[in-house]
C-alpha cells in the first residue's frame, strides 16, 4: 500500500505554523508498513486542493488530507474534496449527531457561553462519503473513495485518524542501526547491502547525537534482516545514545 499526504493551510506556507501533522501522519503510516510517496502543503484554495486531491487519489492507494475544516470562510477543504470527486456537499446524519453531541458537551462545560454554530454546515460532507466522528472536537472527518479527510488541529487529527488507522496496512518493514563510522567509509558496504538484499538503506547523519542513523527498509522481512546482519558485520554499530559520549563528531565526513 502506498499513500500521499496533503496538508492544507496558508499558515503552514507562511511559516507561522510548523507542519507537525505531516510528520506525525508519515510516521504512523510508515509504522503500519505503508509507503508514503508524497507530502505536499497547499494553500486554503479550493481549486488547488481539489486538483491535488484528484491527482493523488488517482496516483496512490490512499490520500490523507488534513486541515481547513470548520466554519470560518478561509476553510474550504470539504468543498474542495467534494469538487474533486464531483459530488455535492450534503449534511450527513451521523456527522450531525457527532456535531450535536460535541456542542452539547461543550455547552454543558461552559454554561455561560453562547455559540452560533451552523450545525448543517459543520456536518456537511461529500454526498455518500463515510463520516469519521471527531472524538476531540467539532469538525467530523470523512472518507471519500480513497481520500481520508481529517481536521487540522493536531489533537483532533490524531483522534480522527485513530478511528480509521486500521484501514492502513502495508508490507514494508524497517530496522534502524546507529554507527559512529564516517559516511565516506561506509559507501561500499551500504551499496553492497542494497544490491545484495534488494532493500533500501538510508544514511542520516545526526550531528547532535554524534552518530549516523542507518535505516534499512524493504517489503521482505528476511531480506531486511539479512541486510542488517550484513551491515552489523561491516560497520561499527552503537546504541542510539552512545555517540554523544564521544569527543569526535562523525556527521557527514
Ligand atoms: P484549520 O486546519 O484551519 O482548522 O486549523 C486549525 C488549527 O490547527 C490552526 O491553529 C492550524 O494552524 C493548526 N493546523 C492546521 N494544519 C496543521 C498541520 N498540518 N500541522 C500543525 N498544525 C496544523
Ligand atoms: Mg484554516
Q: What's the pLDDT tens digit per position in 69-99?
A: 988 889 999 999 999 999 999 999 999 999 9
For the record, the C-alpha cell of 79 comes out as 468543498
Mean pLDDT in residue range 49-75 = 96
Gap between the Cα atoms of 137 and 190, Å rounded: 46
Domain 2-167, CATH number (from 3.40.50.300, 3.40.980.10, 3.40.190.180, 3.40.50.1980): 3.40.980.10
Using DSSP, state whether 31 is helix, strand or coil.
helix
For the record, the C-alpha cell of 111 comes out as 454554561
Domain boundaries, the chain: 2-167, 173-252
DSSP 61-108: SEEEEES--SSSTT--HHHHHHHHTT--EEE-HHHHHHHHHHHHHHHH
67 Cβ inside 6 Å of ligand 1: yes
pLDDT at position 158 is 98
Confidence of residue 247 (pLDDT cuts 50, 70, 90): low
pLDDT at position 115 is 86
Answer whether residue 143 shows pLDDT above 60. Answer: yes
Give the full edge-to-edge strand order of the sheet including 35-42.
35-42, 2-8, 62-66, 147-150, 141-144, 130-132
Indicate the top mutation candidate among 65, 67, 138 to test ligand 1's pocket, ranked by most ligand atoms within 8 A of CB.
67
pLDDT at position 253 is 45
Q: 128 vs 90, 142, 167, CA distance in Å?
A: 8, 10, 19
Give the Å distance between the CA of 69 and the centre of ligand 1: 9
pLDDT at position 160 is 98
138, 99 in Cβ contact below 8 A? yes
Closest-approaching ligand to the CA atom of 8: 1
How many residues in total does the chain contain? 253
Mean pLDDT in residue range 139-159 = 98
Give the Å distance between the CA of 154 and the centre of ligand 1: 7
75 Cβ inside 6 Å of ligand 1: yes
Its pTM stands at: 0.93
69 Cβ inside 6 Å of ligand 1: yes
Answer whether residue 202 shows pLDDT above 60. Answer: yes
Confidence of residue 195 (pLDDT cuts 50, 70, 90): very high
For the record, the C-alpha cell of 77 comes out as 477543504
27, 64 in Cβ contact below 8 A? no
Cα 145 from chain centroid (whole Å): 18
Residue 248: its H or E element: none
- Residue range 173-252 in CATH 3.40.50: no
Amino acid at each position: 500500500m502506498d499513500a500521499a499526504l496533503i496538508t492544507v493551510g496558508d499558515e503552514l506556507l507562511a511559516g507561522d505554523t510548523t507542519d507537525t501533522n505531516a510528520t506525525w501522519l508519515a510516521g504512523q503510516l510508515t509504522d503500519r508498513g505503508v509507503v508514503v510517496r508524497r507530502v505536499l502543503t497547499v494553500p486554503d484554495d479550493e481549486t488547488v486542493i481539489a486538483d491535488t486531491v484528484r491527482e493523488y487519489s488517482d496516483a496512490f492507494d490512499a490520500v490523507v488530507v488534513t486541515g481547513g475544516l470548520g466554519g470560518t470562510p478561509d476553510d474550504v477543504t470539504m468543498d474542495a474534496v467534494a469538487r474533486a470527486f464531483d459530488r455535492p456537499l450534503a449534511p450527513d446524519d451521523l456527522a450531525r449527531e457527532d456535531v450535536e453531541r460535541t456542542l452539547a458537551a461543550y455547552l454543558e462545560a461552559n454554561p455561560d457561553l453562547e455559540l452560533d454554530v451552523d450545525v448543517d454546515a459543520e456536518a456537511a460532507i461529500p454526498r455518500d462519503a463515510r463520516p469519521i466522528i471527531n472524538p476531540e472536537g467539532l469538525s467530523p472527518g470523512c472518507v471519500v473513495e480513497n481520500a481520508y479527510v481529517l481536521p487540522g488541529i493536531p489533537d483532533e487529527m490524531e483522534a480522527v485518524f485513530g478511528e480509521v488507522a486500521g484501514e492502513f496496512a502495508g508490507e514494508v518493514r524497517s530496522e534502524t542501526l546507529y554507527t559512529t563510522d564516517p559516511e565516506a567509509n561506509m559507501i561500499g558496504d551500504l551499496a553492497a547491502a542494497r544490491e545484495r538484499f534488494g532493500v533500501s538503506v538510508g544514511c542520516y547523519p545526526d550531528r547532535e547525537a554524534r552518530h549516523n542513523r542507518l535505516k534499512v527498509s524493504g517489503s521482505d522481512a528476511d531480506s531486511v534482516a539479512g541486510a542488517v546482519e550484513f551491515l552489523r558485520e561491516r560497520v561499527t554499530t552503537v546504541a542510539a545514545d552512545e555517540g554523544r559520549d564521544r569527543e569526535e563528531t562523525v556527521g557527514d565526513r
